[in-house]
Amino acid sequence: MEFIRKKGPGLLLCLLMAIPCWLLGKALPVVGGPVFAILAGMLLTLVWKDKSKVQGGIAFTSKKILQYAVILLGFGLNLSEIAKVGTQSLPIICSTIATSLIVSFILCKLMKMPANISTLVGVGSSICGGSAIAATAPVIGANDEEIAQSISVIFLFNVVAALIFPTFGGAIGLSNEGFGLFAGTAVNDTSSVTAAASTWDSLHGTNGAVLEYATIVKLTRTLAIIPITLVLAFWRTWQAKKGSSASCGSFSLKKIFPFFILFFVLASVITTLSTMAGVDAAFFSPFKELSKFFIIMAMAAIGLNTDIVKLVKSGGKPIFMGFCCWVCIAAVSLAMQHFLGLL
Dist. CA 314–CA 325, nearest whole Å? 18
Enumerate the domain spans of the chain.
2-339
Res 97 pLDDT > 60: yes
Sign, CA torsion 228/230/233/235: negative
Least reliable range by pLDDT among 91-95, 230-234, 257-261? 257-261
CA distance 51 to 118: 30
State in Å, rounded, how far the first CA of the chain is from the last one: 61
Mean pLDDT computed over every residue of the chain:
85
In the predicted structure, residue 15 carries a pLDDT above the cut 70? yes
Q: How far is CA 283 from CA 24, 274, 276, in A?
A: 25, 10, 13
Higher-confidence position of 315 and 52: 52
Confidence of residue 251 (pLDDT cuts 50, 70, 90): very low
Cβ 165 vs Cβ 333: under 8 Å: no
CA-closest candidate to residue 156, choices 37, 291, 306, 31: 31
- For residues 251-263, average pLDDT: 63
DSSP assignment letter at 189: S
| CA atoms of 37 and 152, how far apart (whole Å) | 11
| Gap between the Cα atoms of 165 and 197, Å rounded | 9
Above pLDDT 70, what percent of the chain? 92
Cβ neighbors of 117 (< 8 A, separation 6 or more) are 142, 146, 149, 150, 318
pLDDT exceeds cutoff 70 at 82: no
pTM over the 0.85 mark: no
Per-residue pLDDT tens over the stretch 277-306: 888 878 988 998 899 899 999 989 988 988
Mean pLDDT value across residues 208-214: 83
Percent of the chain residues topping a pLDDT of 90: 29
Per-residue confidence at 327, pLDDT binned at 50, 70, 90? very high
For position 258, what pLDDT does the model report? 64
pLDDT of residue 107: 94
307 or 276: which carries more pLDDT confidence?
A: 276
